[in-house]
Structure 1
Amino acid sequence: MDRIYLDYNASTPLAPEVIDAMMPLLQDFYGNPSALHWAGAPVKELLRNAREQVASLLGCSPEEVIFTSGGSESNNLALKGFYFKNKSKGNHIITSKIEHPAVMNPCKFLEHMGAKVTYIGVDQYGRVSPEDVEKAISEETILISIMHSNNETGSLQPIQEIGKIAEKYGIAFHTDASQSVGKVPVNMNELRVDMVTIAGHKLYAPKGIGALYKRKGIELEPLIHGAGHEFGLRAGTENTLLAVGLGKACEIAENQVEKNELKDLTNYFWSRLKEEFGEQVLLNGHPEERLPNTLNVSFVKKIGQDLLDAIPQLAASTGSACHAGSIELSPVLKEMAVPEEVGMGAIRFSLGRFTTKDEIDQVLQWLIKAVN
């Protein structure tokens, strides 16, 4: 065990099945899916099948799946596309203070374009209150965007409750589910959402591919204008190679998402950390309502990055930034009101499909040596 990877929330390795599914497109299927001849037809069929695989995982129709270059583009299309198409109805957007920059920065851009944005705070677990969302609604509100799960702490948001509020007021609702899809069930109708962001490299598909679920009836202005690809919402010849990879990854996820092995392994890791470090280690995020693979913990009065620097063979991450000897807490932990002496010791361990119990035991030994 020279090196151990516990940063699956940052990016996942390609699943072997995904590589196998993509290989024919690197060799035999090179036609343009829009072409009407023998070279285009099989590629169009592969693209259609990939769209159906994504739709099956989400519980929606294939026509509601738009392939994009990843989570950032999906978020931008949802936010900017909806605002520019619907701003005649109102100019107010509601989001949270702990969103990924791929939501936060489009919102800040839209503020320069005339939008008014309300940023909702979170509780000690990093969760948004549905009541706070409802209080923020005005006659000008046209869109709510709240992430499904936080990428740092793994805390799951009460999306279904917020979706009911959005329905009640006739407001469109978007959720960035980049971290959630493939880890927990993400069904469009159960969540009561209108748009959902997916990032391929978070669920064992390649980087550079993602999707946006858009409910029928929701109108968007395209970000990329050209021919009528992706139902007129994203011009440019489709990247069938990567779309097939995403489709296969979604098919695998659909068969594995209800299994508890990863949750059991994460819980084992947390119980062993408490056993070894006692009150020296604290959990950041909700104890139950969080992603089954994510463990964000603080080693009290330690510096998370120093601990990781002492274990170069371990891949994990901290949300804090180090500048000339000072520590700047992660914005997420700041919003959760985590004290500095606790937050500066935060490390996010995110487990994945290929993580083993032996690896967790090895990481524990490395941590014991680094902390002590």
Structure 2
Amino acid sequence: MEGFYGTPQSHSGSQKHAQVMKGPIQVAFDITNKCNFRCAHCYNNSGENNFVSKELSDDEVLNFIHDIAKLKPFNFCFCGGEPLLRLDVLLKSAKILASHGVIVSLVTNGFLLTENIAANLYKNGVKRVQVSIDGSNPESHEKLRRVPKSFDRAINAVRHFRKAGFKDISVAFCPTKFNYSEIEQVYELCLSLGVKDLRVQPMMPLGRASQNLDFIPSVYEYRKIVSKIMQLRNRSCDKIMIDWGDPVDHLVRFRTITQHCVAYVSILADGSIAVSPYIPLLVGNIRRHSFSDYWEAGLARIWELPMVKKYADPVFSVTSMGKKREGEPHVWFDEPILVDIVENQLI
């Protein structure tokens, strides 16, 4: 998701933009926390965390979608959990958003995808998709994903998307100690599948990943990964982009350069509005007030609040993300702090 955060602006420019922005540019919505996998590196404990258990009903999801569609975000991404576990409401939601000119995206492990589902997703307005492939072979992929046959199903998912007409297909790859040397093979695999983007992002020590720290590459191994990515980027004849994502980038940028105008919003499966998925602070819930109400209350300027900076400041690198701090909830393990910006009129 880091690829959608936008570009830095000057403080004065971002203040002006905050005053005229009708709505967010990028919305990430966990349509469910349920998941058919229990991946070793899952940062948000999908399927197991106990504080996102009361998910929005189908009617609540559709009310939210109708509300936010009027604000016309540039891109709306269905995340999870595994979004395909709520296929019916996902299709209805995508159709509504697309009818308002919103680019609709989806991230999936691909296991549940069929030709028919891919065709229905495309027909109902989904245009960007991302499938996770964490190795060049079943052994590597399934050591991380923990589900037999998941490698073949992920490959087939990309093929189903291609057959359905999708042009904007990305693959997410998480390097580990046992698969980092396969990055070039994964790149070649993506080329053969007609993938547009290969997105590589470090393993974040949050959620289940915090229990599998021995999977995380060393500094030396990460340097080898980045070096290989730079080499692959120089192959200009290839019709594929390869990106190295920095999950901490938005935390640094939002609290400094673009604090007066933040165009990215994250909504959890229970309707909570998260400042960032990586800090234990919520600023509202669409069950309490509509998303439009939160936007009017100053959600675009949420990073001006000292409280937000307090929780974000200690997170300055990937290694600092999972540290338990005294007096603070442990991210994706403990109940986060809720401060409602509508009810408290903080901005």
> Is this a same-fold pair by TM over 0.5?
no
Computing the radius of gyration over CA atoms, which structure comes out larger, 1 or 2? 1
TM-score, with structure 1 as normaliser? 0.30
Compare relative contact order (CA 8 Å, sep 6+) and give the higher one, 1 or 2: 1
TM-score, with structure 2 as normaliser? 0.32
